[in-house]
Structure 1
């Protein structure tokens, strides 16, 4: 009896870490399951909002959705519709043509700046799922609702007031972004996030800053996922489009776009 009594505390100490490990494992499994469900939830929302209406009298034959020629024409029409809608405004807007790897700034339908996209990739649900629903969604211009960047939207220019007009000389303040890596994220109103990175930089400091920029975004996303999972809700998934541009062009596009600008994408 005495031996049993003496061993009891040891058993409790061994059981504690096991219970903790089991709880952590269950939480991680639950978090993983909820995260895996997020893309499916987003796709379902897109299909409900932009998919063909079952009661529509003019609904095309479903066999057309598997016709590559028909879907190619549908994508071109969607891109044209989005560009036409944006051309009616007086603002600068961006078009991304991933088919020919170009990023363009346009005003009233006229291209004022064009750059070749070095590389790109995007979420699987934007390509390998419901082409009709995705094309219908992209037929509408995407509105920028927010951004996160490693450079300022407008460079700060400081000028000293002269005593009189004869002493006036424009102060040339160097744009510090010439020495800073250019990376930014554009948040769209339909949930898509457009990531723009400058092309590969040989400076280790720039690569390190891009790493921390990505890490900050990933941690923010993980935190949002954790909060949703804690409330037993499927997290909000954000489809992404990631492109790489030359540094100077990436900066031009970011600063030319209005804060609440518009974007059209052809995939």
Structure 2
């Protein structure tokens, strides 16, 4: 058996080895072959990664920086010319604190706007690692964030002093159909024949749903939230997640291609990945309405 496998492997690899030996003997052909392999990869990298990042409207260097940030920066710069380094560091610390207060004010302003709505809204506080489902500004379920990852684009936006502008207005949910579990599960049962059978069924326990929880929420202003369960996955769950990741990648490529066909550059999305307990993630996904509002504190 081992001999047969070795012989089969030798036959399988022989054409490939011969091809490589031919390339070594013809350097020009090898160079052309390398270019043919590299060009498609460079084209895909340019259109799907480099151009979307370069075209991100929320990171662009424009004159839209708030007057408050400019005043703080100018004051710090002017003072640094006449005071010692200790005072300069204190002013820089005050400037950072003012920017943090601007972000906190933007978060509270967004929550205030959402409190006027009659539907369930979502509030995410990354500082305290909390996700809250709220109604009229009152938390109805709070979930602990066990781990989270933030796109580098958000860090750059914060470094430029423009994060509070992006967070002031509540975000609006655009897409929520990419998930490994149904949004509204349906349980089909056969109607009881009589009262006795109905009473007997009333004592039966409803089986617990066993679904691994992974879903993506796409909001306006290029914000994407990816929710993952913290519990280990079963074999079936790994297969579902693999298919889910393929769908996410396909959706990103499809969006980029549509933008290019329309004569536009693909937009770079701000991605935040959140890891929660399975039941918490499931409750959030099924409680949110289609056009849910979001307040984010970063």
Q: Take 1:264 and 1:181, find their aligned partners in 2: how far apart are those partners?
A: 26
Alignment of 1:72-151 (within 5 A): 72-130=100-158, 131-147=160-176, 148-151=178-181
**Contact 1:94/1:262 (CA < 8 Å) preserved in 2?**
yes
Q: Does 1:185 align with 2:216?
A: yes
Q: Which moved more, 1:213-222 or 1:154-163?
A: 154-163
What secondary structure is seen at the aligned counterpart in 2 of 1:190? Answer: coil
What are the superposed Cα offsets for residues 75-122 of structure 1, whole Å, 9 maximum, x if unpaired?
Answer: 100100110000001111111100010111111111110011010011
TM-score, scaled relative to structure 2:
0.72
Q: CA RMSD in A?
A: 3.2
Alignment of 1:1-267 (within 5 A): 19=32, 21-34=34-47, 35-42=49-56, 44-45=57-58, 47=60, 51-52=64-65, 59-60=67-68, 62=70, 64=72, 67-130=95-158, 131-147=160-176, 148-161=178-191, 168=198, 174=206, 178-225=209-256, 228=259, 233-267=264-298
**Contact 2:59/2:153 (CA < 8 Å) preserved in 1?**
no
Unaligned runs of 5+ in 1: 1-9, 54-58
Q: Take 1:16 and 1:106, find their aligned partners in 2: how far apart are those partners?
A: 64
How far apart are residue 196 of structure 1 and its match?
0.4
Largest Rg, 1 or 2? 2
What secondary structure is seen at the aligned counterpart in 2 of 1:89? Answer: coil
**Contact 1:143/1:262 (CA < 8 Å) preserved in 2?**
yes
Q: Take 2:243 and 2:205, find their aligned partners in 1: how far apart are those partners?
A: 28
Work out the number of aligned pairs and report it. 249
Unaligned runs of 5+ in 2: 1-21, 74-91
How far apart are residue 160 of structure 1 and its match?
3.9
